[in-house]
Amino acid sequence: MTGPNLEMLTRLAVALAVGLLIGLERGWQQRELPEGERVAGFRTFGLVGLLGAGAAILAGEPPLLLAALALALGVIAGVGYYRGSRRQRGRSATGTVALLLTFTLGAMAGRGHLEAAASAGVVATLLLGVKPELHGVIRRIERVELLGTIRLLLISVVMLPILPDREFGPWQALNPYRIWWMVVLVAGVSYLGYFAQRIWGRNRGTLATGLFGGMVSSTAVAVTLSRRAAAGHRHRDTLAAGIVVASSMMFARMLVILAPVAPALIAPLAPPLAAAATVGLGAGAALALRSRGEEPQARESDVEVRNPLDLSTALRFGLFLAAVMVLSRGLEAWIGDRGLYLGAAATGLADVDAIALSAAAMAGRGDVTASVAAVAVLIACVVNTATKAVIAAALGGLALGIRVGVSMALSLAAGAAALWLGSAG
């Protein structure tokens, strides 16, 4: 068999396979219908795939035959859908669209785009087959979650590409593109954390609340659970466990956020942050074990994050990040590395993400070394962790503050030990 003939047969075979695959799913969906009521099943879709490939192979340039057959098939499918919808109210147009898509994918295969046609055919079959699951997901999505998803796409797909990627401002500290990229990164982590908490954390106890809520905001978890203690919640160990676990997730969150923007910082930061997170999670689990049997009452303390992505919050974080970048660069220019450390300690009281990303940006530009930036991140983490203990004591009482403080002290000690061992080695 000659090369051109083999290539033509391969194109026809791929088109037929795509049509039969989609037709298999369509036929399975209609398997319970009596004869005469089934519309476009296994054989029909296979033939339509072959029709598209044959038309594409025979069509010249411009492909008038292909266009004419596509138009004719569209008219036939449209008329069939119209007549069927008159007999059966609420009839879905999915089958009609799938038929036209099969013709299109067959034509793609006929034009030589075999991998694209095959991949699209598999994806189309998957979408057709998971209809009940997709409809179930849509029914469970709340309006605020839909808007949050659209906002995340707005700030990442629409706004990010149009921002200038150059430094300007005081000490050339501001780069709009990089600042907004960091905003998108933090917003994306919070977005995923929101849905993780919604899917797995709600009504599963304080440990799950701390674990997934800490991906969104460990400070919010600390404030919420501390207020629960102040309101008369008796189970201090359970609430402390949630705060400690959320605070420990902050260390893991740092690694996730910094990895895409400053991979050079991961090597010095991974050992202390991983050690602190591991010991903190262990301390939280120990507190939870002490309070075994309290969990049904502790479920009241779940932290509800009402918005997966608030655009105003993202804008405020962007402004805060820009201010921290200018402050950090200015302090470093005035008094050297100690200025960056001072800025890390000050901003760490309120937020770790901003100073961590600022230090990462400075290291990326060569303003400071990776080791100096890593120390600044660690200082911010230590200050922010200590702040959680203060929040617990101030809002939830001394007993809660001691539990959180001791647990987080063990966590920080583990991080310090890992840092010392790494430097000694």
pLDDT tens-digit readout, 338-381: 888 888 888 787 778 878 888 888 888 787 888 888 999 999 99
Looking at residue 296, its pLDDT comes to: 47
Looking at residue 181, its pLDDT comes to: 79
Angle between helices 353-365 and 311-335 (to 10 degrees): 50
Looking at residue 34, its pLDDT comes to: 61
pTM of the model: 0.61
pLDDT tens-digit readout, 160-175: 889 887 877 776 667 7
- State which residues of the chain have pLDDT below 50: 203, 295-302
Looking at residue 293, its pLDDT comes to: 55
Looking at residue 297, its pLDDT comes to: 46
